[in-house]
């Protein structure tokens, strides 16, 4: 059975990855002999200009972080995909399919053995293999084979296959950092049988746990309603709801100096609202939504629809470098164009301190795995991954890094636009 058009469209990405040498080249061009990369492993932005305190001592979910951006009120929230967006994948779930390009039967068997399978397991996996053109093999592993893998073997196998276009969910698994999976197991919306099956398919990857057999999981759940509930709970993403606290004593000009520097943030239009809040006896709050450019406002806290043929890959890089554009530039899907754009328009800084600075996450293979836009404090605007299961949202930088558990040397590198 060949890969569905929907899955193919989601898998056919043009994510670009910059090597360290490429970044070094453009840095040398800009700043002479200065070294480009300062390794800041997991380091949060400096807090020398800010302080943090609780809004209400009895409400632990909300805090204020004061700095040059003003008094930033933050609260952690959870986002789930709308049920309407889940219909195609849960109404008639497709069997799990693995596609191997550039492989012969013998080389595929060797690949599976190197991934941790025994000879019997490899033979079982290949029992329904079929050729699809020259050196392209399609496997439809059985439910018995997939559920029979123990967690260590599953972990080794899927980590070895990731990034090779074998399957969308092998390349882009569900990732559960910290204790997030426990809240899913405890969800009252999920029957115990579904939770038990989910537990057999989860595997460890670094400090987090992952799920790649999402299609198998859906196929094993008998009713549409239960599949919707599971898909929604699994889609849950930790995000941040942020706003500015405006008091009678708030310095509006100071806020304007910080938030008005990004193109297409029309602070003149926002000032009357700020002044009206300032005039209230106890002030009020202004959502950060009003301080974002149109591109980000249109997408914040939303999930994209499944991609259609010919549409751009709406990944992290497309999102980051279109942040201040009124009309998205789809050439950011092209690696050559994107690298040249960065070389011409950015330089490296030690830590972010201005709205619109760029965060890059780099691993020890000198690849950039992610990019995001710095907002304030330790918050970034981000779209994690190139698949439609990930929303546009605001995240804490440490939480963002935690979504890349398989990269123990992941560190943050920061850039600033030359015009700033």
Range with lowest mean pLDDT among 155-159, 235-239, 323-327, 383-387: 383-387
Q: Which residue has the tokens 């009678």?
A: 248
pLDDT in tens, 93-123: 999 999 999 888 888 999 999 999 999 999 9
Summarised one tens digit per residue, pLDDT across range 210-258 is 999 999 999 999 999 999 999 999 998 889 999 999 999 999 999 999 9
Minimum mean pLDDT among 46-50, 162-166, 298-302, 338-342: which range? 46-50
> Please, which pLDDT band fits residue 5 given cuts at 50, 70 and 90?
very low
pLDDT of 23 reads 47
What confidence score (pLDDT) does residue 10 get? 36
pTM, entire model: 0.79
pLDDT-derived band at 285, boundaries 50, 70, 90 = very high
Question: What residues does each domain of the chain span?
Answer: 5-80+238-417, 83-235
Average pLDDT in the chain: 83
174-193 mean pLDDT = 91
Indicate whether 388 pLDDT > 70.
yes
- Among the residue ranges 54-58, 308-312, 373-377, the one predicted with the least confidence is 54-58
Banded pLDDT at 310 (limits 50, 70, 90) = confident
Q: What is the pLDDT of residues 51-84, one digit of tens each?
A: 444 455 566 678 899 999 999 999 999 999 888 8
């Amino acid at each position: 059975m060949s890969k569905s058009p929907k899955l193919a469209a989601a898998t056919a990405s043009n994510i670009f990855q910059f090597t360290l040498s490429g970044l070094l080249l453009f840095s040398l061009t800009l700043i002479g002999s200065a070294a480009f990369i300062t390794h800041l492993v997991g380091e949060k932005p400096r807090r020398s200009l800010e302080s943090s305190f609780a809004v209400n001592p009895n409400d632990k979910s909300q805090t204020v972080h004061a700095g040059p951006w003003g008094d930033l009120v933050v609260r952690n929230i959870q986002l789930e995909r709308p049920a309407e967006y889940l219909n195609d994948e849960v109404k008639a779930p497709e069997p799990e399919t693995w596609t191997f390009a550039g492989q012969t039967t013998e080389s595929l068997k060797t690949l599976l053995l190197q991934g941790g399978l025994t000879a019997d397991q490899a033979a079982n996996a290949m029992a329904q293999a079929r050729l699809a053109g020259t050196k392209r093999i399609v496997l439809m592993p059985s439910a018995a084979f997939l559920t029979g893998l123990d967690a260590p073997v599953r972990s080794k196998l899927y980590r070895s296959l990731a990034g090779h276009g074998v399957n969308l969910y092998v390349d882009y698994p569900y990732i559960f950092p910290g204790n997030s999976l426990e809240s899913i197991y405890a969800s009252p919306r999920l029957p115990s049988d579904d939770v038990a099956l989910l537990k057999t398919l989860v595997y460890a990857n670094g400090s987090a746990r992952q799920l790649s057999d999402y299609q198998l999981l859906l196929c094993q759940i008998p009713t549409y309603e239960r599949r919707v509930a599971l898909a929604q709970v699994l889609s849950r993403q930790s995000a941040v709801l942020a706003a500015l606290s405006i008091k009678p004593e708030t310095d509006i000009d100071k806020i304007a100096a910080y938030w008005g520097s990004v193109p297409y943030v029309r602070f003149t239009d926002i000032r009357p609202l700020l002044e009206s809040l300032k005039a209230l006896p106890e002030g009020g709050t202004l959502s950060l939504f009003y301080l974002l450019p149109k591109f980000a406002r249109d997408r914040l806290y939303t999930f994209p629809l499944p991609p259609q043929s010919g549409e751009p890959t709406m990944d992290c890089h497309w999102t980051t470098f279109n942040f201040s554009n009124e009309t998205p530039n789809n050439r950011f899907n092209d690696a050559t164009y994107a690298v040249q754009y960065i070389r011409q328009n950015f330089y490296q800084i030690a830590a972010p301190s201005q709205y619109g600075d760029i965060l890059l996450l780099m691993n020890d293979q000198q690849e950039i795995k992610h990019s995001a836009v710095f907002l304030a404090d330790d918050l970034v605007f981000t779209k994690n991954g190139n698949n439609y299961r990930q929303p546009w949202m605001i995240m804490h930088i440490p939480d963002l890094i935690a979504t890349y558990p398989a990269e123990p040397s992941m560190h943050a590198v920061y850039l600033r636009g030359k015009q700033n």
